[in-house]
Chain A
Amino acid sequence: MSPRLARIGLFVAAASAPVVFVLVPIAAFLIMSFWRVETSQLVPDMTVANYAAFFASDTYPRVFIETLQLCAIVAVIGVALGYPIAYLIWRQHGRLRYVLLLLFAIPLFMSYIVKIYTMRSILGLQGFLNQGLVTLGILDQPSLLFIYNRLAILLTMAVIFLPFAILPIYLSLERIPRSLVHASADLGGAPLASFRYVILPLSAPGTIVGALFVFVLALGDFITPQMVGGPSGFTIGRVIWSQFGLAFNWPFGAAMASLLLLVAFVVISLAALIARRQRV
């Protein structure tokens, strides 16, 4: 094979990976969302009935909106926890910095299911949190305040997805040259003023990316709501999953998944637009 042909072959191979693994499945979903189901049989068609059914329903759009709200709050909590952590790591010197960073990144290598069970054993009725509060005398008896409700979903997701908030925030902080912080101090900026006018705006793009990561991951997560959410854990992810796994209405599930994808895409584009205006 000539080098030229080899190069073309290599290019095709490299380009086909995202096509095969990303674009084709998405396209398959989009196409399937226009199909219908008749007596438990998939019928290829070109109907918008699935989308119409979604918007006509008085349950699904509400669940959809509530899920978006939930994920937005998770993203806010993720950034509210992740920013101070990333900032404190950034302020350390030498090896300590990377040791801390690694510590916070370790959960990324752990199984997702294990992490959810861990959170359950912390938040549950016999969990560490309840035991601790009872031991300290703050509670008289273990409470169901932290498990099988919306708060439990928020806390669990925020903790599980925390590394995804910390890492991009840390990276954007690390890209800020020390000389800029020095320059701000040199011109009379007290530490708080330097943070507000220099560090915060320059780390904003990373912070937005971190929030996005958490938001999108939370949007696709249907296991956490099911495991710790109890009756309030009915999110759009679970609805979609049940269309595939229980109701055997794949086209309807595909239509809702496509809408979810569309929302995620719009949110990401908006965030990218905001980040670009920061000029960093």
Chain B
Amino acid sequence: MTVLLELDAVSKSYGATEVLRPTSLEVKDGEFLTILGPSGSGKTTILRLVGGFARPTAGRIRFDGADVTNVPTHKRPFNTVFQDYALFPHMNVARNVGYGLMLRRRPKREIENRVAETLEVVGLSGMLDRYPSQLSGGQRQRVALARALVCDPRLILLDEPLAALDAGLRRQMQLFLKSLQRQVRTTFLFVTHDQEEATTMSDRIVVMNVGHIEQIGTPRDIYYAPASRFVAEFFGDNNILGGTISDGRLQCALGAFPAPPALVEGSAALAAIRPEKVRLGTAAEPADIVFTAAVIDVVFAGAITQVLLRPNASPEAIITAKLTSGAAIGSLAPDASVEVRIAREDAVILPAASP
């Protein structure tokens, strides 16, 4: 796949505050790329720089090979879906969606057809005469999408567009956005702080933290092989066990895990273990570490039951296990003593300090 958008050592400072450290990123043609990070991570800054609403302090932005770093917003060939939708309150749906075409001086007939077509794609036919104030949150969202899609841009920027929707509608819109992106074959650059949202929709995810990129990869890559402690803790739940590297292994209170050779002998490191990889009382494999623990609490959450455990060997470390719900787990009582097993290869070993 060819590179559609390229950030080349782009940084942004406001006075002495550097909100984005020099960052390079390539967005491939046709992909759904999500920038994920907590607030203050610089993810929205990237979108503002790409959209032209702010100028980078240093670095270049290229679109389709052409330098657009200093091109004003209205001459950039891509469109944005804003977090608050930014629909024009004095225009009805038809005029909102047709706005970009009207500015391009397209014939009236063509605008009408194109607007009707696009509204059908987003599932809003027959709402042409409504005003934004007469629409629900989900409908406004779709109008904003249609307005960005109508000019057929090769790239669409989406700034947390689902943040204002309630949970059920958000899940529905996630699936819709993904299928829409496949249908229109447009590149989506999506910004969110919601890890689950990023996982469901994206081809690739860029995880950001305090103004820099922590990791870029597919949702699977990032989930199963987090590159840093921040990613391990921010991207889904993880049990973190601290220890030291010795003899090429991470030694911690509950056992030893094989460590990658890059980790220096004697340095502090940690093991990140997904809660669903923690097993209780089943037959041991030779590669498992085994320890006994006391049950602190059993939380039933439908298909999954979450068990909080306090290992006898290391009472300050609380281990969470996510298990498929069933009668055996349901009967676990607090303070019961259980045998806990973790396969050594299920632990991701990371340096304790972020690089």
Q: What residues of chain A have their CB less than 8 Å away from a CB belonging to chain B?
A: 177, 179-180, 182-191, 193-194, 197-198, 201-202, 278-280
Inter-chain contact A189/B72, CB cutoff 8 Å: no
Q: What would be 29 A-B contacts, judged by CB atoms less than 8 Å apart? A: A179-B84, A179-B86, A180-B86, A180-B88, A182-B51, A182-B73, A182-B86, A183-B80, A183-B88, A183-B147, A184-B88, A185-B72, A185-B74, A186-B52, A186-B73, A187-B147, A188-B100, A188-B151, A189-B99, A189-B103, A191-B74, A193-B74, A197-B88, A197-B103, A202-B89, A202-B90, A279-B89, A279-B90, A279-B131
Complex CA distance for A170 and B210, rounded to whole angstroms = 37
Q: What residues of chain B have their CB less than 8 Å away from a CB belonging to chain A?
A: 51-53, 72-76, 79-80, 82-84, 86-90, 99-100, 103-104, 131, 133, 147, 151
- What DSSP secondary structure best describes chain B's contact surface? loop
Contact partner of B89 among A182, A185, A190, A280, CB < 8 A? A280
Complex CA distance for A191 and B73, rounded to whole angstroms = 10
Inter-chain contact A179/B82, CB cutoff 8 Å: yes
Q: Collect the chain A residues with CB atoms within 8 Å of residue B75's CB.
A: 188
Q: Collect the chain B residues with CB atoms within 8 Å of residue A198's CB.
A: 88
Q: Collect the chain A residues with CB atoms within 8 Å of residue B100's CB.
A: 187-188
Complex CA distance for A197 and B53, rounded to whole angstroms = 19
Inter-chain contact B147/A201, CB cutoff 8 Å: no
* Smallest CB separation, B186 vs chain A (Å): 15
* Smallest CB separation, A234 vs chain B (Å): 42
* Smallest CB separation, A183 vs chain B (Å): 4
Complex CA distance for A188 and B98, rounded to whole angstroms = 12
Inter-chain contact B90/A187, CB cutoff 8 Å: no
Residue of A nearest to B99 (CB): A187
Complex CA distance for A186 and B147, rounded to whole angstroms = 11
Residue of A nearest to B100 (CB): A187
Q: Collect the chain A residues with CB atoms within 8 Å of residue B151's CB.
A: 187-188
* Smallest CB separation, B95 vs chain A (Å): 9
* Smallest CB separation, B87 vs chain A (Å): 8
Complex CA distance for A182 and B48, rounded to whole angstroms = 10
Complex CA distance for A280 and B99, rounded to whole angstroms = 18
Residue of B nearest to A277 (CB): B90
Contact partner of B51 among A186, A202, A280, CB < 8 A? A186
The 3 closest A-B pairs by CB, nearest first: A187-B100, A183-B86, A179-B86
CB within 8 Å for A187 and B82 given contacts A193-B103, A201-B90, A202-B89: no
Q: Collect the chain A residues with CB atoms within 8 Å of residue B99's CB.
A: 184, 187, 189, 197
Residue of A nearest to B150 (CB): A187
Q: Collect the chain A residues with CB atoms within 8 Å of residue B53's CB.
A: 182
Residue of B nearest to A188 (CB): B103
Inter-chain contact A188/B89, CB cutoff 8 Å: no
Complex CA distance for A183 and B91, rounded to whole angstroms = 13
Inter-chain contact B103/A187, CB cutoff 8 Å: yes
Inter-chain contact B79/A187, CB cutoff 8 Å: yes
Q: Collect the chain A residues with CB atoms within 8 Å of residue B82's CB.
A: 179, 182-183
Complex CA distance for A34 and B131, rounded to whole angstroms = 49
Q: Collect the chain B residues with CB atoms within 8 Å of residue A180's CB.
A: 86, 88
CB within 8 Å for A186 and B88 given contacts A197-B99, A279-B131, A279-B133: no
Q: Collect the chain A residues with CB atoms within 8 Å of residue B103's CB.
A: 187-189, 193, 197
